[in-house]
Amino acid sequence: MFAVVDILGQQFKVAENIKYYVPRLKEDIDSDVIFDSVLVLSNDKNVKIGNPSVKGAKVTAKVLEHIKDDKVIIFKKKRRKGYQKKQGHRQELTRIEITKIA
């Protein structure tokens, strides 16, 4: 069984008892989160496609930790002009585990 869920504007294909990294959520660690915007819901034989979301479908997840992703370096240069700019960025993520798809 799997579902396609919209989490903070990004779509994730999720299954039960699997851990995922999603954009930073406001919930505390060890709290449960319910996602109502399920776009596709599928078990072994049936597939339900929402318009835009499946009515009555919910995905429950548990927040495991809040982390920062690896640093991404942004480097800009214009040759023969003496222009160089270096900037770094670390994205904040939340690690969740899907507990129930209903």
Reading the chain (102 residues) residue by residue, the pLDDT tens digits are 999 999 999 999 999 999 999 999 999 999 999 999 999 999 888 999 999 999 999 999 999 999 999 999 999 999 999 999 999 999 999 999 999 999
DSSP string, 48-78: EE-SSS-TT--EEEEEEEEEE---EEEEEEE
Please tell me what DSSP assigns to residue 36. -
Please tell me what DSSP assigns to residue 37. -
What's the CA dihedral at 94, 97, 100, 101 to 10 degrees? Answer: 60
Contact 44, 58 (CB under 8 A): no
The residue extents of the domains of the chain are 2-65+95-101
